[in-house]
Amino acid sequence: MPHAATEKRTKIVATLGPASASRDTFTKMVQSGLNAVRLNFSHGDHQSHAETITMVRAVSRELGLSIPIIGDLRGPHIRVGDVENGQVELHDGQTFILTPQKMVGTAEMVSVSFPGLAGDLKIGTQLLIDDGSIQMRVTKLHADGRIEGIVEHGATLSSRRGINVPGINLSLPPLTEKDLQDIDFAIEQKLDFLALSFVQSASDIQTLKTILAAKNSDIAVIAKIEMSGAVNDIERIVQEADAVMVARGDLALEMSFKEVPIAQKRIIATCRKHAVPVITATQMLESMISANKPTRAEVTDVANAIFDGTDAVMLSGETAIGKYPAETIATMSRIAARAEVAWRNGEVPRPPEITPEGNIEQVISYYGAITSQYLNIAAIVTYTRTGSTARRTSRFRPDPPILALTPNPRTCHQLGLCWGVYSETIDDSGSAEGMIDAATAHARRVGKAQPGDYVVVTAGNPNGPPGNTSLISIEQVEDW
């Protein structure tokens, strides 16, 4: 069966907000290619988020889709406090002080949300305030925790703007009190993923997973890579996380904007190596917040992330507050579909090849994926309880769609971030023969195969432990 050029495999994650809160708008976004939803816990309250979750699930049921929902924790971001009249002006060369004492800020001094910040700094450390619009160099560290410095680049400073400290691992705890409240809300609402902000090391992921386990929650954890320390520890972070997000906004402040494209490729490659889904995020179609067409640079950015091998691309303000949320999704879908056809047709190199490591499950997934290079395979059907078989197959980027059949509704939703995977919940099959028959029937029922087409089926012993993939079979779809 030929693959439709318009059927993208790359997943699209959209942040919901005021521009996309209505059922009609969200339905149009799904029909335009949305695959997963992000709720930004830095904005809104639990009541508004609960209403959005209810709406998303209602539309998902109506359309017969499994749409995963991500709760994005705000994390321990350092911020300045309030300043008089809402904003003050800082000038090049002036002295400026950050203080742990609560106060209304002035053009000479402002409070800082992390009282222990001075203990992590040294003379000469650079501080970036308000996404780098203000740059300050530390000249003196006082015993009472005040940080004195020279403003190297001044600008208007508004209340509660963020502070970045490039290249420094801060002694902040990975979760705030607000995060703990949002975690409880996410568990109550049975969200599929929690995204952990400002991850510095693999131990931060372990902290969140320990909390979730203690509350008997199987929510998966996304590690947001936006700190230089996280890039340095990327191998261990990827092995600990359930998914990864390349959060390029703060990352560009932490390690210099010119390093971000290199870090992006490294992070994506590491995720594919370990079969961990990866999302590329931040300003992908930023101009479409107010314009109905993207810039040429944005189109190239989205396509290059796909050429790098990302599983998903993410929209933030474009769909949360933008004027054209559905149109932005449709635009991203068209870019993704064209990029995928380009590598299928040999117009551009495919994402870097992945070599399976020496165990049965990985070898089965590999040969299940590459069979389509030698035979006209309509679909790859994987039986999976934990999702690992589908994730391992996905990382080899096969041409046919991957149909993941699972008895676990949570797994079904969480596979929604994986490139090329279409998941559905089914009953457990009692035998290998039963799985094969059900696989070919399912491929035909969902329109991925026609009578006479061939499908690849991978599975394990239905009575064995999870992760025991040991069967691969090529089956011809029969007429009903």
- What would the DSSP string read from start to end of 286-311? GGGGT-SS--HHHHHHHHHHHHHT-S
What CATH number is associated with residue 273? 3.20.20.60
pLDDT at 478: 81
316 falls within a domain: yes
Q: What does the alpha-carbon distance between residue 39 and residue 193 come to, in Å, rounded to a whole number?
A: 10
Quote the percentage of the chain above a pLDDT of 70. 96
Each residue's pLDDT tens digit, 152-194? 999 999 999 999 999 898 999 999 999 999 999 999 999 999 9
Total count of domains within the chain: 3
69-81 per-position pLDDT tens digit: 999 999 998 999 9
Which H or E run contains 203? helix 202-214
The answer on 283 and 255 residing in a single domain is yes
Q: 104 and 59: one domain?
A: no
- Are 140 and 241 found together in one domain? no
pLDDT of residue 256: 84
Does residue 371 register a pLDDT over 80? yes
- Once rounded to an integer, what is the mean pLDDT over residues 266-278? 97
Q: What is the mean pLDDT of residues 2-31?
A: 87
Question: In 10 A of CB 346, how many CB atoms?
Answer: 8
- Final residue before a domain boundary, out of 141, 164, 187: 164
Alpha helices in 93-201 (DSSP H): 117-120, 177-188
pLDDT category, 350, cuts 50, 70, 90? confident
Please report whether residue 349 resides in a domain: no
pLDDT digits (tens, 9 = 90+) for 255-266: 888 999 999 999
4 pLDDT above the threshold of 60: no
Find the domain containing 93 and state its range.
78-164
Catalytic residues, by residue number, are 38, 79, 224, 282
The verdict on residue 352 lying in a domain is no
In a domain, 348, yes or no: no
Out of 130, 164, 198, a domain closes at 164
Q: Which amino acid is at 15?
A: T
Same domain, 376 and 439: yes
Q: In which band, very low, low, confident or very high, does the pLDDT at 43 lie, cut at 50, 70 and 90? A: very high
Q: What is the DSSP string of 317-348?
A: HHHHT-S-HHHHHHHHHHHHHHHHHHHHTTSS
Mean pLDDT, rounded, of the chain:
93
> For the chain, what is the largest distance between any 2 Cα atoms, rounded to a whole number of angstroms?
80
Q: Report yes or no: 117 and 78 within 8 Å, Cβ to Cβ.
A: yes
pLDDT tens, residue by residue, 230-257: 999 999 999 999 999 999 999 999 988 8
Tokens of 202: 């693999």
Same domain, 313 and 335: yes
Residue 461's pLDDT is what? 64
* Per-residue pLDDT, 1: 33
Per-residue DSSP letter, 418: S
Question: Is 161 within 8 Å of 129 (Cβ atoms)?
Answer: yes
Q: Which burial class, exposed, middle or buried, applies to 437 when counting CB atoms under 10 A from its CB (0-12, 13-18, 19+)?
A: middle
pLDDT category at 138 given cuts 50, 70, 90 is: very high
Q: What is the mean pLDDT of residues 108-119?
A: 96
Q: With beta carbons less than 8 A apart as the criterion, state whether 100 and 110 touch.
A: no
Which of 164, 189, 206 finishes a domain? Answer: 164
- Per-residue model confidence (pLDDT) at position 173: 93
SS3 92: coil
Q: Is residue 15 situated within a structural domain?
A: yes
Statement to judge: residues 283 and 226 lie in one domain: yes
pLDDT above 70 (res 468) = no
Contacts of 22 (CB under 8 A, 6+ apart): none
Q: What is the CA radius of gyration of the chain?
A: 24
Residues 324 and 417 in one domain: no
Residue 25 falls inside a structural domain: yes
Q: Indicate if 320 and 372 belong to the same structural domain.
A: no
66 and 83: one domain? no
Query: Could you tell me how far CA 277 lies from the centroid of its own chain?
Result: 8
Encode pLDDT of 319-349 as tens digits: 999 999 999 999 999 999 999 999 989 999 8
Tell me: do 58 and 191 sit in the same domain. yes
Do both 443 and 334 map to the same domain?
no
Q: Is 12 left (phi over 0), alpha (psi -120 to 50) or beta?
A: beta
Task: Identify the residue whose tokens are 């409240």.
Answer: 181
Q: CATH number of the domain that 127 lies in? A: 2.40.33.10
Domain contains 97: yes
Task: Please tell me the least confidently modeled range out of 392-401, 421-430, 451-460.
Answer: 421-430
Are residues 129 and 104 both part of a single domain? yes
Query: Mean pLDDT across the stretch 122-126?
Result: 97
pLDDT tens for 200-216 read 999 999 999 999 999 99
Question: Residue 446 domain-assigned?
Answer: yes
Q: Where residue 428 sits, what CATH number does that domain have?
A: 3.40.1380.20
